[in-house]
């Protein structure tokens, strides 16, 4: 229950403090007095977007602080999970600060928290129904949330959310693996193509260098043979050559018997020439051998040219420097291709696991659907019963579940269908209800759903808009009935509703020199009678109006 509310430096409010009790609390005041400002400040505690323009004084921050007592065990567990200390007296202190620069900070029991956690905690403590809340029924997720809250599906929904998250994560893993496998397949195809090309080429280490040498030789075969023939002729031709000349010189020296004063003898010189002759004969034979081997071979030359061109083209294609690198690349690509793993086994395992998770998810979705189907009948019946006394005798209400694909919230969508007149086709509530009809239906819905949601506090902002007379009295009694099991705060302009309150606050404006501020004060019995008298009669409050107000208050107690 909300026990204390402190608002400072927010819009027209310089400082307001309210001590609140259980039951139905009424808040009244002239239009523009600041009631909606109070509600906006309270909404900050539910995680609503903060607007720096709402900071009244530019030299200090705006502050909204609330104390709650009787904290539910679920909230305590959530606080413990987030390392937030619990107070010894069981009081929960929630605070939101807004700086003039627009910076917003939130605290729970003086521990800084983010807005997500703030909203999660306060959503379990308080529900604020504003005049815009009717529009939210157009959101399918809101309708589904109302139904799940009434059905008590928190546990089943948590199980489903976990199963859905597990299934989605598994499907993501499968998608990632498939993308990896596809990339691997493309890589394998490229490698296979490259290896097949190199297999066909079959480059050898040092091959190009050998071919280039042979090609050069064959290209100049005629010129080379001519030179070799001339060299051989000069060494050992048919008409004599260097070999015969040296042999004859050696013979002449040997025959001379030359011996001059200790100089080398002719025989020794002849021996040297003989050694030279032997070497020249070997050279001549080698030249003759080359001459025998070098022949013009156009066919061989063409084959060598074609092979060289293929090797050159491969070097350009694979962007390598030389044929030896081509040989090394061939070996490396084949090893890489042989080492690639298809990964198909892992994919099969993941898909098998996904099928199991999908089956589990469908089972949990079916459990949730069964609970929603049963709850939809009860909730629709309870809303009809609650709304008809509010001046809607022909009200027909139905909650329709439409099966669909598995989604984060289940496998069905929810529509609230209704008719306010006899023999009329059911249509979506948000599109067929007038303002006054929507207010009554929303009150009926809130009165039915609030207890099941486990909330301790609910706030109504002029939910009685568009009604009057006896219907207003019925709506007031309904809010008072809600106040027996939970704390209800109601902003209203209707005296019939105001008369139902256990406590009553009045919001008013006060001029302070050069500025106007909003004030709030509790009303005692006499002041309350005067306030309701003014609501009954308008600007002039006379004794008859006060008497009527007193009668109305007493009647509302019955």
Distance CA 429, CA 427 (A): 6
Averaging pLDDT over each range in 129-143, 266-280, 493-507, which range is the top one?
493-507
SS (H, E, C) 294-354: CCCCHHHHHHHHHHHHHHHHHHHHCCCCCHHHHHHHHHHHHHHHHHCCCCHHHHHHHHHHH
pLDDT reported for residue 261:
46
Q: Higher-confidence residue: 87 or 373? A: 373
Distance CA 133, CA 98 (A): 25
Q: Comparing C-alpha atoms, which of 403, 444, 389, 397 is closest to residue 420?
A: 397
Q: Tell me the per-residue pLDDT of 186-206, one tens digit each, with 9 for 90 and over.
A: 888 888 888 888 888 888 888
Question: Contact, 467 vs 475, CB < 8 A?
Answer: yes
* Average pLDDT score over residue span 294-300: 74
Question: Contact, 546 vs 538, CB < 8 A?
Answer: no
pLDDT reported for residue 258:
61
* pLDDT at residue 19 tops 90: yes
The burial of 478, by beta-carbon neighbours within 10 Å (0-12 exposed, 13-18 middle, 19 or more buried), is given as buried
Q: Higher-confidence residue: 467 or 539? A: 467
pLDDT reported for residue 399:
95
Compute the Cα dihedral for 524, 527, 533, 538 and give only its sign: negative
* pLDDT at residue 133 tops 70: no
440 DSSP assignment: H
* Edge-to-edge strand ranges of the sheet holding 410-419: 396-407, 410-419, 427-428
Question: Contact, 543 vs 40, CB < 8 A?
Answer: no
Question: Contact, 110 vs 116, CB < 8 A?
Answer: no
**Where in the chain are all domains bearing CATH 3.40.50.300?**
1-125+455-523
Q: Tell me the per-residue pLDDT of 98-112, one tens digit each, with 9 for 90 and over.
A: 988 878 999 999 999
CB atoms within 10 A of CB 189: 10
**Whole-Å CA distances, 135 to 129, 143, 353, 412, 433:** 11, 11, 42, 21, 11
Question: Contact, 142 vs 305, CB < 8 A?
Answer: no
Distance CA 313, CA 218 (A): 22
Q: Higher-confidence residue: 86 or 384? A: 384
* Average pLDDT score over residue span 527-552: 87
β-pairing, 92-98 vs 126-129, is unpaired
- Which class is domain 1-125+455-523? alpha beta
* Average pLDDT score over residue span 403-426: 92
* Average pLDDT score over residue span 312-341: 82
Is residue 233 very low, low, confident or very high in pLDDT (cuts 50, 70, 90)?
A: confident
* pLDDT at residue 358 tops 90: yes
* pLDDT at residue 33 tops 50: yes
Who contacts 447 (Cβ-Cβ below 8 Å, separation ≥6)?
386, 478, 479, 481, 482
β-pairing, 24-29 vs 62-68, is unpaired
**pTM of this structure:** 0.65
3-state SS assignment for residue 474: helix
Distance CA 229, CA 218 (A): 16
Q: How far is CA 5 from the centre of its chain?
A: 37
3-state SS assignment for residue 5: strand
Helices 207-219 and 298-317: crossing angle in degrees, nearest 10, is 140
Distance CA 372, CA 59 (A): 52
Distance CA 371, CA 368 (A): 5
Q: Comparing C-alpha atoms, which of 503, 447, 521 is closest to residue 21?
A: 503
* Average pLDDT score over residue span 205-220: 80
* pLDDT at residue 322 tops 80: no
β-pairing, 126-129 vs 503-512, is unpaired
* Average pLDDT score over residue span 483-507: 91
Backbone angles phi, psi at 421, to 5 degrees: -135, 160
Who contacts 10 (Cβ-Cβ below 8 Å, separation ≥6)?
37, 40, 41, 54, 55, 56, 62, 63, 64, 98
Distance CA 489, CA 376 (A): 28
* Average pLDDT score over residue span 369-383: 95
The burial of 390, by beta-carbon neighbours within 10 Å (0-12 exposed, 13-18 middle, 19 or more buried), is given as buried
pLDDT reported for residue 170:
94
* pLDDT at residue 263 tops 70: no
Distance CA 510, CA 517 (A): 5
Question: Contact, 433 vs 420, CB < 8 A?
Answer: yes
Question: Contact, 504 vs 28, CB < 8 A?
Answer: yes
């Amino acid at each position: 229950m909300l026990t204390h509310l402190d608002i400072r430096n927010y819009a027209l409010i310089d400082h307001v403090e309210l001590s609140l009790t259980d039951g139905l609390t009424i808040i009244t005041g002239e239009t523009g007095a600041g009631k909606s400002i109070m509600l906006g400040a309270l909404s900050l505690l539910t995680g609503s977007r903060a607007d720096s323009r709402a900071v009244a004084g530019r030299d200090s921050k705006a502050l909204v602080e609330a104390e709650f007592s009787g904290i539910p065990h679920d909230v305590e567990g959530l606080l413990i999970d987030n390392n937030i200390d619990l107070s010894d007296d069981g009081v929960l202190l929630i605070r939101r600060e807004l700086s003039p620069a627009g910076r917003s900070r939130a605290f729970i029991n003086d521990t800084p928290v983010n807005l997500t956690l703030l909203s999660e905690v306060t959503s379990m403590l308080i529900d604020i129904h504003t005049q815009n809340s009717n529009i939210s029924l157009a959101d399918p997720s809101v309708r589904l949330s109302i139904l799940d809250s009434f059905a008590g599906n928190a546990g089943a929904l948590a199980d489903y959310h976990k199963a859905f998250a597990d299934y989605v994560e598994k499907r993501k893993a499968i998608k990632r693996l498939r993308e990896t496998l596809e990339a691997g397949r493309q890589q394998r195809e490229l490698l296979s193509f490259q290896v097949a090309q190199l297999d066909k080429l079959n480059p050898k280490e040092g091959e190009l260098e050998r071919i280039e040498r042979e090609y050069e030789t064959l290209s100049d075969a005629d010129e080379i043979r001519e030179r070799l023939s001339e060299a051989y002729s000069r060494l050992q031709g048919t008409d004599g050559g260097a070999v015969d000349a040296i042999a004859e010189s050696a013979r002449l020296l040997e025959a001379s018997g030359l011996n001059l004063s200790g100089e080398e003898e002719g025989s020794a010189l002849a021996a040297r020439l003989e050694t030279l002759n032997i070497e020249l004969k070997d050279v001549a034979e080698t030249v003759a051998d080359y001459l025998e081997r070098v022949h013009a071979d156009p066919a061989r030359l063409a084959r060598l040219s074609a092979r060289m061109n293929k090797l050159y083209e491969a070097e350009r294609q694979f962007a390598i420097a030389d044929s030896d690198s081509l040989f090394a690349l061939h070996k490396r690509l084949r090893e890489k291709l042989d080492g690639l793993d298809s990964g198909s086994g892992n994919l099969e395992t993941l898909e098998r696991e996904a099928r199991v998770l999908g089956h589990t998810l469908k089972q949990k979705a079916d459990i949730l659907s069964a609970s929603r189907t049963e709850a939809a009948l009860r909730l629709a019946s309870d809303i009809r019963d609650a709304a008809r006394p509010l001046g809607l005798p022909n009200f027909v209400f139905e909650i329709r579940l439409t099966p669909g694909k598995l989604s984060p919230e289940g496998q069905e969508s929810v529509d609230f269908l209704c008719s306010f007149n006899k023999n009329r086709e059911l249509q979506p509530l948000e599109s067929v209800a007038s303002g006054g009809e929507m207010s009554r239906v929303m009150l009926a819905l809130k009165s039915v759903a609030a207890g099941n949601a486990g909330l301790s506090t609910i706030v109504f902002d002029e939910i009685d808009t568009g009604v009057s007379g006896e219907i207003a009295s019925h709506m007031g009694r309904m809010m008072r009935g809600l106040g027996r099991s939970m704390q209800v705060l109601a902003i209203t302009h209707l005296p019939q509703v105001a008369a139902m309150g256990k406590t009553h606050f009045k919001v008013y404006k006060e001029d302070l020199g050069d500025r106007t501020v909003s004030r709030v004060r509790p009303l005692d019995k006499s002041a309350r009678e005067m306030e309701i008298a003014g609501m009954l009669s308008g600007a002039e409050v006379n004794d008859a109006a006060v008497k009527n107000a007193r009668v109305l208050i007493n009647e509302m107690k019955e």
